[in-house]
Amino acid sequence: MQYGHFDNAAREYVIDRVDLPVSWTNYIGLKDMLGVFNHTAGGYLLYKSPEYHRITRFRPNGVPMDFPGHYIYLRDEEDGDYWSVSWQPVGKPKEHYSCRHGLSYVKYLCDYSGIDASQTLFVAMDDPVEIWDVRLRNSSDRPRTLSVFSYLEFSFHHIDMDNRNFQMSLYAAGSRYEEGVIEHDLYYEENGYQFFTGSFTPDGFDCLRDSFIGPYRTERNPLVVESGQCSGSFEKGGNHCGCLKKTLTLLPGEECRLLFLLGEGGIAEGKRLREKYTFEKADEDFRRIAAYWDEKLSRLQIETPNEGMNTEINLWNLYQSEINVMFSRFTSFIEVGGRTGLGYRDTAQDAMMVIHSNPEKCRSRLVELMRALTSEGYGLHLFEPRWFDPDAKEQSFRSPTVIPTPDKSQIITGLKDVCADDALWLVSSVVQYIRETGETEFADQSVTYADEGAGTVYEHLKKILDFSARQIGQNGICKGLRADWNDCLNLGGGESAMVSFLHLWALRNFCELAEALGRTEDAEHYRLLAEHVQAVTREVLWDGEWFLRGITADNRKIGTHSDTEGKVHMESNTWAVLSGAATAEQGRLAMDSVDSYLYTEYGLMLNAPCYTKPDDGIGFVTRVYPGLKENGAIFSHPNPWAWCAEALLGRGDRAMKFYNALCPPLQNDRIEVRQAEPYSYCQFVVGRDHTAFGRARHPFMTGSSGWAYFAATQYLLGIRPSFTGLIVDPCIPHDWKEFRVNRKWRGSTYEIHVVNPDGVEKGVRSILADGKPVSELPVLTPGSICRAEVTMGRSDNT
């Protein structure tokens, strides 16, 4: 069953049926002001921080779902009938509504009662102002008098202030109105103002939420809209809202347009920006948002026989991956901002995936991560970049109900809270950054450590590798510590196969960097260490048909053939191949086991069979319901690791089978099962051992997005940068005859055409760059265009 369709030409997903089983969300804003909104205008807006500076309020995980939002009500002044442009909150018959999710905007459309209306939400490019672009058209055959009411509910800024202990916050926020501008003020904050205004002279206003809604009512039937009369409320103290009213008459066929502006700053700023944001300026900003995405998307475009892959790579997958880097992982309807800052491993991975489209942001994320590395070589699992930013200003927010602020000794949490994988990701991300950009000087940039002292980026990486080399358990494998990539695998002093494989991967990447920089002694030292790790892991972790997942502190194997639960795991088997630890034979067998134990039509499960008996030597995963989350769900994030592993093994048919099973657009006609957005990878899809098998949960904020993009472009299509050139090494289904990739790299454009006359899955017979045979595409003078003809097949000498 479908609820909508992809309009790729308009770069939109169109929701034709708005009565979705769950919220389908989208993101607006590209810099400091950000918002997340669903298909019915439910959602919230924030400035810089989802924890400390929320602008509008949201009641997460509630009923009715996803209230409140940024709403426009229309009221027919003839008969008093009223409705909302975004279907909810009033909820008139659904046939009258649709929603278009675009890149950094959302558009709601309705055609109720002879009035065509639309409301588009987006954020201005240069100022922290959200624009609601509202358009009305009288499509009936008689003049119509309508009142337009806006509604939003202001937040007390801090998520805790909005959700608990109101004894102070309820009396600390105020509102007032002056010449068409509503001001909301958090009195105790230095710059605690917001304004809400419009492109018109209002006929009424309300600043107090409870006056607008009325007692024992909801946003569905607010008193002000039902009666048609604003009360002109405002007060110092209480809960505040933004309601501006405009009454207008439209002749048959007549159209009108209203802009509403919600921004940072008080009345004066509201007046200033109202002058600035004319219709023309709003149109210009809307075009600039499109141009922003044009430019980003143009860095890599593909044309393949797989429409699902084309839609993802050319549009939604990059968009989702960029959003993860921009918003971090803490702004959604699930992650509602109560845990803020950066997650070490998530950020380190996200920042590796979109370097070609956002090198500046990725680099600044990498630096933030370096600063949160301790001089011992481990990263702080969750941190606020502000804590370690030498230029950070004193934070203005101080809770009036006195929540103690942590000092440095509490921030540097010590070994007990170290996740063994966290910083290892950073090594490969930095190396990847340099391969993509060619900025070798980044390695010599000096960065402080979280606790004391400073070192170059290169030295930070060595500390990370050395830390893992020291944290070895009784069998010679890296300890799992508080957790590894899998939050729910809590091995403590037990050993994690995945961490040793990640260590190996990081070592190999680092050696390439050391060699590229001419630091041969280091390259040699870490190459020997890598050989050692490879030998130990092959020996200790191989179980005959697959790799173990780890070994508990009391020396029990996890994921061995005699296990009846948690027998085969995805992380260890994919990483055994990806890291180069597995022999070719081990790799093939291990991935065959992944296929036979973990594959489902919706993607690969994380482990099977699921755990049903608590076992604290293994960890929290044994206490998660079977089929959900880390216990045997189709956890999306590791799925692309399996595509990479299959690509390294040269099995393109299998890699694409795995790719397609998870590919969101290919699920568009199964929404009765999937429920979630088909334009976003979700954190997990419920696994086979659960009654809701196939249901997807937690859109947008997931590492699967970046990994899917990276795996598809660099491993399946096989276009990846090295220090010296652009490698073309595809692994595709045997029945693909050809594909094209247009890739910008180091300032030049590479138009790559790959043909596959022999129907192979892997292997390149020849590469012609502008007619000349090469082994990889060369670095060119910026601004050049390179036309590459690549022929797959068995190489000439085989």
Name the residue whose CB lies closest to ligand GLC.
487
Q: Which residues contact 698 (CB under 8 A, 6 or more apart)?
A: 332, 334, 682, 683, 684
Piece of the chain touching ligand GLC by CB under 6 A; list 135-143, 252-260, 339-347, 562-570: 339-347
Q: How far apart are CA 153 and CA 631, in angstroms?
A: 39
| Cβ closest to ligand GLC, residue 633 vs residue 671 | 633
| Cβ closest to ligand GLC, residue 197 vs residue 317 | 317
DSSP string over 225-264: HHHT-------BSS-EEEEEEEEEEE-TT-EEEEEEEEEE
Q: How far apart are CA 366 and CA 374, in angstroms?
A: 14
Catalytic residue among 487, 615, 653, 770: 487
Closest contact distance (angstroms) between CB of 429 and ligand GLC is: 15
Closest contact distance (angstroms) between CB of 147 and ligand GLC is: 45
Choose among 349, 331, 350: nearest CA to 340. 331
Does residue number 108 form part of the binding site for ligand GLC (CB under 6 A)? no
HEC states along 136-176? EEECCCCCEEEEEEEECEECCCCHHHHHCCHHHHCCCEEEE
Does residue number 75 form part of the binding site for ligand GLC (CB under 6 A)? no
Piece of the chain touching ligand GLC by CB under 6 A; list 123-131, 142-150, 160-168, 342-350: 342-350
Piece of the chain touching ligand GLC by CB under 6 A; list 46-54, 107-115, 482-490, 544-552: 482-490
Identify the three-state secondary structure at position 293. helix
HEC states along 561-606? CCCCCCCEEHHHHHHHHHCCCCCHHHHHHHHHHHHHHHEECCEECC
Does residue number 343 form part of the binding site for ligand GLC (CB under 6 A)? yes
Closest contact distance (angstroms) between CB of 565 and ligand GLC is: 18
Closest contact distance (angstroms) between CB of 9 and ligand GLC is: 33
Closest contact distance (angstroms) between CB of 430 and ligand GLC is: 19
Q: How far apart are CA 368 and CA 158, in angstroms?
A: 23
Residue environment code for 766-781, b if the CB has 16+ CB neighbours within 10 A, otherwise e: ebebeeeebebbbbbe
| Cβ closest to ligand GLC, residue 162 vs residue 346 | 346
Does residue number 632 form part of the binding site for ligand GLC (CB under 6 A)? no
Closest contact distance (angstroms) between CB of 246 and ligand GLC is: 44
Q: How far apart are CA 788 and CA 727, in angstroms?
A: 11
Does residue number 346 form part of the binding site for ligand GLC (CB under 6 A)? yes
Environment class of residue 245 by beta-carbon count within 10 Å: exposed (0-12), middle (13-18) or buried (19+)? Answer: buried
Closest contact distance (angstroms) between CB of 31 and ligand GLC is: 24
* Out of 118, 324, 490, 683, the residue judged to bind ligand GLC by CB under 6 A: 683
Q: How many residues bind ligand GLC (CB under 6 A)?
A: 9
Piece of the chain touching ligand GLC by CB under 6 A; list 9-17, 35-43, 116-124, 343-351: 343-351
Closest contact distance (angstroms) between CB of 629 and ligand GLC is: 8
Q: Which residues in the 190-249 window bind ligand GLC by CB under 6 A?
A: none
| Cβ closest to ligand GLC, residue 97 vs residue 700 | 700
Q: Which residues contact 585 (CB under 8 A, 6 or more apart)?
A: none
Does residue number 630 form part of the binding site for ligand GLC (CB under 6 A)? yes
| Cβ closest to ligand GLC, residue 304 vs residue 429 | 429
Piece of the chain touching ligand GLC by CB under 6 A; list 155-163, 340-348, 501-509, 643-651: 340-348
Piece of the chain touching ligand GLC by CB under 6 A; list 134-142, 272-280, 426-434, 480-488: 480-488
Closest contact distance (angstroms) between CB of 607 and ligand GLC is: 12
* Out of 160, 487, 592, 789, the residue judged to bind ligand GLC by CB under 6 A: 487
Q: How far apart are CA 677 and CA 417, in angstroms?
A: 34
Q: How far apart are CA 587 and CA 576, in angstroms?
A: 7
Q: How far apart are CA 528 and CA 530, in angstroms?
A: 5
Contact 206, 231 (CB under 8 A): yes
| Cβ closest to ligand GLC, residue 269 vs residue 630 | 630
| Cβ closest to ligand GLC, residue 505 vs residue 739 | 505
Q: Which two tokens stand for residue 153?
A: 């509910």
DSSP code for 67? B
Q: Which residues in the 142-181 window bind ligand GLC by CB under 6 A?
A: none
Q: Which residues in the 381-400 window bind ligand GLC by CB under 6 A?
A: none
In the block, tokens 């070798």 appear at: 440
Does residue number 615 form part of the binding site for ligand GLC (CB under 6 A)? no
| Cβ closest to ligand GLC, residue 607 vs residue 668 | 607
Closest contact distance (angstroms) between CB of 334 and ligand GLC is: 11
* Out of 485, 505, 602, 641, the residue judged to bind ligand GLC by CB under 6 A: 485
Does residue number 345 form part of the binding site for ligand GLC (CB under 6 A)? yes
Catalytic (active site) residue 294? no
Q: Angle at CA 176, nearest 5°, toward 172 and 182? A: 115
Does residue number 566 form part of the binding site for ligand GLC (CB under 6 A)? no
| Cβ closest to ligand GLC, residue 235 vs residue 487 | 487
Does residue number 486 form part of the binding site for ligand GLC (CB under 6 A)? yes
Piece of the chain touching ligand GLC by CB under 6 A; list 287-295, 316-324, 338-346, 731-739: 338-346
In the block, tokens 């956002």 appear at: 358
Q: Which residues contact 672 (CB under 8 A, 6 or more apart)?
A: 1
Whole-angstrom CA distances from 627 to 285, 622, 635, 690 are 45, 11, 10, 5
Q: How far apart are CA 748 and CA 783, in angstroms?
A: 5
| Cβ closest to ligand GLC, residue 11 vs residue 381 | 381
Closest contact distance (angstroms) between CB of 578 and ligand GLC is: 16
First to last CA, the chain: 49
Choose among 658, 537, 530: nearest CA to 586. 537
Closest contact distance (angstroms) between CB of 343 and ligand GLC is: 6
Does residue number 652 form part of the binding site for ligand GLC (CB under 6 A)? no
Contact 443, 434 (CB under 8 A): yes
Piece of the chain touching ligand GLC by CB under 6 A; list 58-66, 154-162, 205-213, 485-493: 485-493
| Cβ closest to ligand GLC, residue 308 vs residue 559 | 559
Environment class of residue 476 by beta-carbon count within 10 Å: exposed (0-12), middle (13-18) or buried (19+)? Answer: middle
Piece of the chain touching ligand GLC by CB under 6 A; list 12-20, 222-230, 352-360, 484-492: 484-492
Helix (H) or strand (E) holding 782: none
| Cβ closest to ligand GLC, residue 417 vs residue 487 | 487
Examine residue 400 and say whether the peptide bond preceding it is cis (omega within 30 degrees of 0): no
Hey, which residues are catalytic here? 487
- Give me the residues that bind ligand GLC (CB under 6 A), please: 343, 345-346, 485-488, 630, 683
